[in-house]
């Protein structure tokens, strides 16, 4: 799998928007640190949080069990498999939000934003 990731917190610093079509192109050109932007490559069916940690990155989490939404990500391209969801509303799921601690890639390539905790609606969910 090839997972291109971007720290949501960098968007406001650069005046970017989640809906920008060329968001990841802009990120690639912006000389961001590897913590904020890069690519995770792995072959096994691990969850995205574990994949980030294996590469040495500390993405937000708390419960690791799909119950707190601290680990939420926004999937911009590609699909992940999320075996259960007891916390995100259907509306959030429709917007592409997933829980990285339990979500495994379903497509070879993914583009995701992590650290999306300041997205509207997520604040109240976090424990």
Give the interface segment with ligand FES, choosing from 12-20, 32-40, 55-63, 115-123 (CB under 6 A). 55-63
Rounded Cα gap, residues 73 and 117, in angstroms? 8
State the nearest-atom distance from the C-beta of 50 to ligand FES, in Å.
11
Of the candidates 23, 69, 73, 80, which one interacts with ligand FES according to CB under 6 A? Answer: 69
Q: Which lies closer to ligand FES via its Cβ, residue 38 or residue 60? A: 60
Q: Does 93 bind ligand FES (CB under 6 A)?
A: no
Q: Using an 8 Å Cβ cutoff, are 78 and 113 in contact? A: no
Q: Does 103 bind ligand FES (CB under 6 A)?
A: no
Read off φ and ψ for residue 14, nearest 5 degrees. Answer: -105, 0
């Amino acid at each position: 799998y090839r997972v291109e990731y971007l720290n949501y917190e960098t968007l406001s610093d650069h005046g970017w928007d989640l809906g920008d079509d060329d968001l990841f192109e802009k990120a690639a050109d912006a000389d961001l640190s590897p913590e904020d932007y890069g690519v995770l490559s792995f072959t096994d069916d691990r969850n995205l949080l574990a994949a980030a940690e294996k590469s040495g990155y500390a993405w937000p989490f708390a419960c690791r069990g799909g119950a707190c939404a601290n680990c939420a990500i926004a999937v911009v391209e590609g699909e992940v498999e999320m075996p259960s969801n007891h916390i995100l509303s259907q509306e959030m799921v429709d917007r592409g939000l997933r829980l990285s601690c339990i979500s495994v890639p379903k497509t070879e390539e993914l583009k995701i934003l992590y650290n999306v905790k300041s997205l509207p609606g997520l604040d109240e969910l976090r424990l």
